[in-house]
Chains A and B, each alone.
Chain A
Amino acid sequence: MTPPIHGYLRNDGRKGIRNNVVIAYLVECAHHVAREIQLPYRDRGVHLIGFSGCYPNEYSFRMMQALCTHSNVGTVLLVSLGCEGFDRKGLLSTIRESGRPAELLVIQDNRGTRATIADGREWVERALASLAETPRVPMPMEELVLGTVCGGSDGTSGITANPGIGRAFDRMVQSGATCIFEETGELIGCEHIMAARAATPELARELKASVAKAARYYATLGHGSFAPGNADGGLTTQEEKSMGAYSKSGSSPISGLIKPGDVPRAGGLYLLDVVPDGEVRFGFPNINDNAEIAELMACGAHITLFSTGRGSVVGSAIAPVLKVCANPETYRRLTGDMDIDAGRILEGRATLDEVGDEICERILAVAGGELTASESLGHQEFVLGYKSFEPVGPACHPTYQ
């Protein structure tokens, strides 16, 4: 039996593993002011997120709702310029309805940059004082949500870190946690193998359809998720990269298919469909790894397991990123940025099972408050772009029925 984690209890009943204040800008024009408000407090659990676009978009609005009410977030300050298209009042009421204290500063109505920064910092001081009172309660494994993503992949990712994460996912699913893998574009070529693990035949069809959608989308764009660095690292094709990426999912049955902003209602393994529905609009589905991490967090992820071969250094605002380094040479070069040396499997210094066990131990330690490498280095990357999605159908959630 694993000792219970002590989570921060929110008024909506959700439990977080961090107790963060979020400052959110609602258009790029408010970014500087929001960043200036956050800067003096960036090492004290005050995180900056935001949406740059001036034009409203249902997806980004839903993402901001999900992120501002994430279980790791206790209170939110929204910073608006005033004339952007974002529904700031709608977002403010969603956050308040979740029981989280929230405030809105509109720069145009608040005497400009200097006054808004000053007012914002005063608000942060009060917010930090009140957040310190958040009760901590035992948090069963059934309430823990984990995501996984890979970035800067090379020929080692699919051999060491990804199957290592797969072993950890198997153990976590077994202990009741919710585990989410994603990037349907990186599953092109292994959709039939994956669909065989679906909880129902209807879900199997949905899983295959989601990958077919991704293949169409990428074919229209002319590019897959395959980056030039992948070929330098020995990967040759999209489907080769896919098989390696797929191994992050482990071997549990697949319980459902979700889209960004859907928080699974029961434990199990879920595929997150990140490729937009409908005609190709707005460009690449995810412009970088942090766009995917943001979507995993919007689905409730408390921790993201990040597999890297070439050596990504990113972290994230809101939820810790745990780096599992696939390549032993990369680990030696970038030790300070990495949490787990999965590449030692290649040098005969560990087995896959041992790496899987180590990942599970680190998940529990990080859930208990231990900082990941990227957290301790102050990484708080965040990006959010434009997309459009249709809601998932009932076949995607067979376990809810």
Chain B
Amino acid sequence: MKPVNTVLLASGDNVVVLAASAAAGDRVRLSGRELALPEPLGLGHKLAAHNIPDGEKIIKYGAPIGSATRAISAGEHVHLHNMQSDYLPTYTLDAEHQFHSAKS
């Protein structure tokens, strides 16, 4: 249940980045509020810096990197399940190591 640092890469970003790998239950501090992570997350993964409405641009490095595909609460993991590219579909390997579109 250790504290884990996050990095805000540019002012105005609505996501922060984990500065180390975190176990479930590890604590992060977001705008003065501390919350426990419900799942383990690797270094570099994104958390919502505040509540993000469905369809809003996700801002990282001060630039849009895609859009929310549903409402995201502050502190929630932001990844393939709740945001998508505004340009190209993202492909990942599933548990069976089959190539598939993360959007399907």
Contacts and interface: CB of A to CB of B under 8 A. Distances in A.
Interface of A: 154-156, 158-159, 188-190, 193, 215, 218-219, 222-224, 226, 228, 231-240, 243-244, 247, 309, 327-329, 346-347
Given A236-B85, A239-B65, 11 more contacts: A155-B43, A190-B63, A224-B87, A226-B88, A228-B91, A236-B83, A237-B87, A237-B90, A239-B63, A239-B85, A346-B20
A233 to B, nearest CB: 6
B11 to A, nearest CB: 15
26 contacts: A155-B18, A155-B43, A155-B45, A188-B88, A193-B63, A233-B44, A234-B18, A235-B44, A236-B58, A236-B79, A236-B90, A237-B85, A237-B86, A237-B87, A237-B90, A240-B58, A240-B66, A243-B61, A243-B63, A244-B61, A247-B61, A309-B44, A327-B43, A327-B44, A346-B43, A347-B20
A234 B90 contact: no
Given A228-B92, A231-B92, A237 B65 contact: yes
Interface residues of B, number: 36
Nearest to A243: B61
A223 B65 CA distance: 17
B91 A237 contact: no
Residue of B9, B18, B83, B87 most packed against chain A (CB within 10 A):
B87
A218 B80 contact: no
B63 A236 contact: no
A104 B66 CA distance: 53
Contact of A234 (B46, B58, B93, B99): B46
List the 5 closest pairs (A to B, CB-CB), nearest first.
A155-B44, A240-B65, A234-B45, A237-B85, A234-B44
A234 B77 CA distance: 10
B73 interface: no
A233 B45 CA distance: 7
B7 interface: yes
A239 B45 CA distance: 15
Interface in B26-57: 41-46
Contacts of A238: 85, 87-88, 90
B19 to A, nearest CB: 5
B66 A236 contact: yes
Given A239-B87, A240-B65, A346-B20, A156 B43 contact: yes
B3 interface: no
A236 B58 CA distance: 11
Residue of B19, B61, B102 most packed against chain A (CB within 10 A):
B61
